[in-house]
Structure 1
Amino acid sequence: MSGISPSASGLLPMPGAPSSSWAAYKARAAAIVGHHDTKVIVAFWLFGLINNVLYVIILSAAQDLVGSIPKGVVLLADVVPSFLTKLVAPYFIHRIPYRMRVLIFIALSVIGMLMVALTPRTQSVAIKLVGVVLASISAGGGELSFLGLTHFYGPMSLAGWGSGTGAAGLVGAGLYVMFTDWWGLSVRSSLLISACFPAIMFISFFVILPLGPLREGTTRKDYDAIPDLEDEDVNHMDQGTASSALLAPGPGVASTAYSAHNTQDTLTMRDRLKKVKGLFVPYMLPLLLVYVAEYTINQGVAPTLLFPLEESPFDEFRDFYPMYGFLYQLGVFISRSSTPFIRIHHLYLPSTLQVVNLVLLTFHAVYFFLPSVYIVFVIIFWEGLLGGGVYVNCFAEIMENVPPEDREFSLGATTVSDSGGISIAGLISIVMETKLCNYQVAHGRDWCRRISAQGH
């Protein structure tokens, strides 16, 4: 029997053991919380949460912001600037230090949300959309920057980021339902509260995140290999072991795993375009497909998935849409938090299943054959599981399969697929929602016309 105590082995002491005093528990908990890698996970979780939460709140508020105007308009204002940012920024943003980027993202987010919140109802919707555009630019630049930053902090930072982005959807949609439906706050008050959230990003980067690995990774001239792991060992590692190692915590991940020299300054435009071409089929295309399908559902089909109020748990027709958003984001959160436990290597399978969801719900919007809104709830939740799973596993596959010297650029460049897919979905949704609503009205279901913007 080993003479090593539980506390010495890195575990919490067993109840009843001599070392199980409250002081021992406090010391061990403090060691865990203060550990380098724990801080990395927490920081990246908060990055994912705050970078995406305003985007989700804006989409959840789409119906209240524009009323009967197609929600695809808000989607396009929320996504196209982000898409354009991700399209062009990877070719120059590496020249801007990360700390400066974070300050820029915070400023854009706060200004954008204040414009959306403080614009009176008498003013044009266009002014609100300008605020949405500013928040979108911040979210797009933040996503490609923070995903690129995971290159310096290892796979657990990606797990934290993925879970945080999933939580953003859940928190954003849930908070909006809570603010407006449960607490009875106005749309303006809800958005003003949301404008305070970017302050958390400042704390995450400048207080919580250990900046040593970033400094080392951007100043070292040579790649610092992981100790005790030769290239030959990696080449002979079977896929299951490599997959498990990808997201398993290990000693010194934050400081040793990804301190490769940043070679982006030496890449020409031709080199970058060649790298993007190699990313398209295995990573970018399935991510694009899943986002086209799910956001066409969310913005083009979901607003028309209405049932008689007496057959639903709602008092108003406007209540269907925020609930669909909440269930979708719940599924996204669960699947984006799953990579330490479940990995998906074949990205095209869930992408195809998402297209099936789109077809099924579109047919229901036309023919009204699903007998209960609760069946739609389940499908929307499943939609979120599929979409979140493709997103986080796409970037996990890049971290596993792309060479270290190309990884930072590849992680950032691939983000264009989700915004590109959402932009395409926004264009489709503007036409699709109108056509579906007109069809329903012509066939005696005018519920989609009974929805108006909620006042400030």
Structure 2
Amino acid sequence: MLIIALTPAHTDGGSISTKLAGVILASLSSGAGELSFLGLTHFYGRFSLASWSSGTGAAGLVGAGAYAVATTSLGLSVKFTLLASACLPAIMLVSFFVILPLGALRVATRKAAQYRSIDNSHDDEEVEARHTERDDETSEEDGLLGPAGDGTRFVKASERGKVSQAWASFQENLNRSKGLFFPFMLPLLLVYVAEYTINQGVTPTLLFPLKETPFEQYRAFYPAYNAIYQAGVFISRSSSPFFRIHHLYFPSFLQIANLAILTLHALFNFIPNVYLIFLIIFWEGLLGGLVYVNTFAEIADRVPAADREFSLAATTVSDSGGICIAGFLGMAFEVWLCRWQVSQGRKYCTMS
């Protein structure tokens, strides 16, 4: 955030590359944080997952809403708004190391260390046994090599054992991921591809004459759409203690329908006013949040406790992958839709 805020506003190659580096760092931290913290909710009981989902929804709502209010209503610069927000990640450090009870994590860490110790001892015994067998079979060669050769062969055998163990662990995790793909990962992937293609590729072209809207500038449309979308996400991500869905594909297909409707409107301009667009964007946020929170709630219900932490963390690949795919689709969508609108005499997407 600091990198983006402190680079110049002009768009020469150096400035753009620096800002992109800031975006990449933000994405890396966001993805790593989600993968880690979502998996850790397994150790804090069922309500922790609902709290996590609600918190992520609130973060999007507060972030998008604060940016829209600061830059549109208060007239503050983008640079000042980003600098004022740069201190917020420090709250996460305080929350984790000061507020969050760490006893459950310490117990889990000790148990995992014990399991690793037992496994490693067993592996070392196997390696030593194989080494002893080879010694018996090749005693004449060992006499020529001496003690140094014995130590070298033992280290190499131990290293091969660790590599084999790591490869076996990777294969096991891959097999576990295959079992998660169709019931959990695919519907989450679909909903994220659809909603982020809408957000990044379609909504920048959902523009109306300013006199028919509550806005004074065309650049105000996108932050408003984003804030409305995040409001829907927050509500639905906070709903799991009160409302659950078990058929995850149904809202995913509804989200794809949203993408089709808004794309057709961007092409043919049949929705009469911006307020109906607001309603569809809010509905989009509701659907996205519902699939997110209910996917992980279903994992918590249906996956055995021994596999639950891994399953929660592994499934986050779907939303990250969906956002990545949608990013590439969105670049093509926005350029295509804007060119189409300009060819039809609607040049709003080229205005600010």
TM-score, normalised to structure 1, is 0.64
Distance 1:207 1:266 in 2: 37
Relative distance call for 1:267 and 1:331 in structure 2 (3 A) is: farther
What is aligned with 1:124? Answer: 15
1:160 to 28, 36, 51: 51
1:298-347 per-position Cα deviation (integer Å, ceiling 9, x unaligned)? 01000000001111111111111111001100000000000000011100
Q: How does 1:5-84 map to 2 (within 5 A)?
A: none
The amino acid of 2:7's aligned partner reads: T
Distance 2:223 2:77 in 1: 15
What is aligned with 2:159? Answer: none
Relative distance call for 1:201 and 1:267 in structure 2 (3 A) is: farther
Relative distance call for 1:175 and 1:148 in structure 2 (3 A) is: same
More deviation, 211-220/433-442: 211-220
The amino acid of 2:105's aligned partner reads: L
Distance 2:317 2:289 in 1: 16
The amino acid of 1:422's aligned partner reads: I
What is aligned with 1:233? Answer: none
Question: Which structure 2 segments of 5+ residues have no match?
Answer: 116-164
Q: How does 1:298-313 map to 2 (within 5 A)?
A: 298-313=199-214
Distance 2:288 2:250 in 1: 11
**SS of 2:242 mapped into structure 1:** coil
Distance 1:345 1:397 in 2: 7
2:26 to 114, 117, 135: 135
Q: How does 1:406-417 map to 2 (within 5 A)?
A: 406-417=307-318
Give the structure with the larger helix fraction: 2
Shift of 1:267: 6.4
Q: How does 1:43-442 map to 2 (within 5 A)?
A: 113-122=1-10, 123-220=14-111, 268-442=169-343
1:103-147 per-position Cα deviation (integer Å, ceiling 9, x unaligned)? xxxxxxxxxx11111001245211101011111111110001001
Distance 1:138 1:204 in 2: 17
What is aligned with 1:63? Answer: none
The amino acid of 1:337's aligned partner reads: S
1:269-316 per-position Cα deviation (integer Å, ceiling 9, x unaligned)? 100100110000000000000000001110100000000111111111
**SS of 2:244 mapped into structure 1:** coil
TM-score, normalised to structure 2, is 0.83
Shift of 1:178: 1.4
Shift of 1:220: 2.8
What is aligned with 1:7? Answer: none
1:188-214 per-position Cα deviation (integer Å, ceiling 9, x unaligned)? 111111110011001101111001111
**SS of 1:346 mapped into structure 2:** coil
**Displacement over 3 Å in runs of 4+:** 264-267
What is aligned with 1:447? Answer: 348
Distance 2:23 2:258 in 1: 28
1:35-56 per-position Cα deviation (integer Å, ceiling 9, x unaligned)? xxxxxxxxxxxxxxxxxxxxxx
**SS of 1:270 mapped into structure 2:** helix
Distance 2:35 2:254 in 1: 27
Distance 1:361 1:182 in 2: 27
Distance 1:376 1:364 in 2: 10
**SS of 1:338 mapped into structure 2:** coil
The amino acid of 1:116's aligned partner reads: I
Distance 1:287 1:386 in 2: 11
Relative distance call for 1:266 and 1:151 in structure 2 (3 A) is: farther
**SS of 1:415 mapped into structure 2:** helix
**SS of 1:295 mapped into structure 2:** helix
Distance 2:166 2:107 in 1: 17
Larger Rg: 2
Distance 1:181 1:320 in 2: 10
Distance 1:350 1:140 in 2: 24
Distance 2:256 2:184 in 1: 17
Question: Which structure 1 segments of 5+ residues have no match?
Answer: 1-112, 224-263, 452-456
Shift of 1:266: 10
Identity over the aligned pairs, expressed in percent? Answer: 65
The amino acid of 1:389's aligned partner reads: L
Count of residues in Structure 1 that have an aligned counterpart in Structure 2: 299
